[in-house]
Amino acid sequence: MGLEPETETRKRLERLVNSSICPAEDAEEYTSELRQLIQETTDEDAIKRQSRLFKALADKTRLKMLMLLNIREMCVCEIMVALDLTQPTASHHLRILEAANLVSDRHEGKWVFYRLKDKRKMMKLVKMLMEK
């Protein structure tokens, strides 16, 4: 069986430091510097938002939903029919899009309608990602 992940990581860093490729002279001190670097250069809340966004955009069904909602607001049943989805599957994908702050819903009696939250911004992002 291999080494524990932390032990293996520590040994790799020590080899790097000892190789003279790395600017540090002490592996422990360098570990602290690297961990401080990530804390100084990242905002945990922003990382969570970006992660939700990328998760939402990483699925072809959700991208198709966004394309449909770019045309107009649609109720869940329209999205289900257009994409040949079951209601639970459509709702699952729509919840992910809502969590990423890409779509919003409104209720009209028993019907739930979805629309893009910021149509211009969303479609600019999708088009940018779809460029070859």
Please state, in angstroms and as integers, the Cα–Cα distance from residue 70 to each residue in 17, 35, 59, 66, 95, following that order.
52, 41, 17, 6, 17
Same domain, 31 and 76: no
pLDDT of amino acid 132 = 61
The pairs formed by 19-22 with CB atoms below 8 angstroms and a separation of 24 or more are: none
Same domain, 56 and 116: yes
Range of the domain at 65: 49-130
Residue in 97, 81, 80, 98 with CA at minimum distance from that of residue 89: 80
Same domain, 10 and 65: no
Same domain, 58 and 107: yes
Structure pTM?
A: 0.72
Q: Please, which residues have CB within 8 angstroms of residue 98's CB and are 6 or more apart in sequence?
A: 104, 105
Each of the 132 residues of the chain gets a pLDDT tens digit; together they read 555 667 888 888 888 888 878 777 778 888 888 889 989 998 999 898 888 888 988 999 999 999 899 999 999 999 999 999 999 999 999 999 999 999 999 999 999 999 999 888 876 776 777 776
Same domain, 54 and 78: yes
Same domain, 53 and 105: yes
